[in-house]
Amino acid sequence: MLIQSLNEWFETPLGGYLLAREQEHFDHAVADVFGFNALQIGLPQHDFLGQNRIALRFSAGLEAGVRLRADPGHLPIESNSIDLAVLPHVLEFSPNPHEILREVGRALMPEGQIMICGFNPRSLWGLRRILDSERRSYPWCGRFISLPRLKDWLALLDFEVTGGRLDCYVPPFRQDDWRGRFTFLEKAGDRWWPIAGGVYFVQAVKRVHGMRVIKPNWNDVRAARKSLAPLTQKLNGKDSRLAARARAQEAKPQ
């Protein structure tokens, strides 16, 4: 069966398993982020900002159901106005993922946070994408982005990675009973195979590097000049008095 969208895939048993894991992670991650404006790009049918307490939370994208219908690479949002941006599986299904990251970075306030989840190509999920005969179907039609590559992109855009994790270590079997036989991997995956989770979560902060202008301390210079002035005046006054005394002695009659 050819699945035409990621949201449609989430309705399958395998997609539902992944969605539950991701919802749990985002609910925990966004709970303690504060500010005035929070943005979710893509997947408006699933509220990954639901546990956040920011007053204005909205979704943007080209899908039906978003509050702001716009190209994620050209957001009609004021620069430095967003406190939190969540990107659930946006980059691997976009022709210009770096452009979306750059645009989100522009919209984020200094010290604003971005949270990204994506499929890990270095996992059994990535292996299935390579071997699966249904590569035109979601999610296997996406271009999975490796975690090191994503971190490099973030660093180039002045983001500092502050947290993250991998999840979904169970092999991507379609059948529930087969996945059930490997549920022990969820707890053991971080110890046995820490880089091979099916999906990764990355949290980063927008850093704005300030510039300090070093100026001469003109006050100290003026103070030094003032300290010299009384001494100069004193010496000049003493010389004048000595000269006047000498002239007075010369004028006295012998």
Largest Cα span, the chain: 134
d(CA 153, CA 87): 15
pLDDT score of 157 more than 60: yes
What are the residue ranges of helices labelled H in the chain? 6-9, 13-29, 97-107, 124-131, 147-156, 176-180, 184-192, 218-251
Confidence band of 252 (pLDDT split at 50, 70, 90) = low
Mean pLDDT of the region 216-221 = 55
Rounded average pLDDT over 144-160: 96
Rounded to an integer, the average pLDDT of 84-112 is 96
| pLDDT-based confidence at residue 174 (cuts at 50, 70, 90) | confident
Note the Cα 202 to chain centre separation in Å: 9
Instruction: Say which range, 25-34, 105-114, 153-162, 245-254, has the weakest mean pLDDT.
Output: 245-254
Amino acid letter, 167: D
Residue-level pLDDT at 209: 76
Decide if 56 contacts 88 (C-beta within 8 A).
no
pLDDT surpasses 80 at 74: yes
Give the dihedral of Cα atoms 29, 33, 39, 43; nearest 10 deg.
Answer: 20
Choose the weakest-confidence range: 22-31, 69-78, 136-145, 202-211: 202-211
Q: Which fold has domain 6-206?
A: Rossmann fold (3.40.50)
Band the pLDDT of 137: cuts 50, 70, 90: confident
Three-state DSSP state, 137: coil
Where in the chain are the domains?
Answer: 6-206
In the predicted model, is pLDDT for residue 8 greater than 80? yes
Instruction: Look at 250 and 153; give whichever has higher pLDDT.
Output: 153
Confidence check: pLDDT of 158 > 90 = yes
Q: From residue 61, give the alpha-carbon distance in Å to each of 37, 78, 152.
A: 16, 16, 25
What is the chain's mean pLDDT, rounded?
Answer: 84
Is the distance from CB of 150 to CB of 118 less than 8 angstroms? yes
Residue 112 burial (CB count, 10 A): 25
Phi-psi region of 161 (alpha: psi -120 to 50; beta: other; left: phi over 0): beta
CA atoms lying within 13 Å on the CB side of residue 25: 23
d(CA 154, CA 34): 22
SS3 171: coil
Q: What are 120-129's pLDDT values in tens digits? A: 999 988 988 8
Q: Which residue has the higher pLDDT, 115 or 224?
A: 115
User: What is the rounded distance in angstroms from the CA atom of residue 120 to the CA atom of residue 137?
Assistant: 17
pLDDT (mean) for 102-107: 97
Three-state secondary structure call for residue 134? coil
Determine the average pLDDT of the residues in 54-68. 94
Q: Which pTM was predicted?
A: 0.78
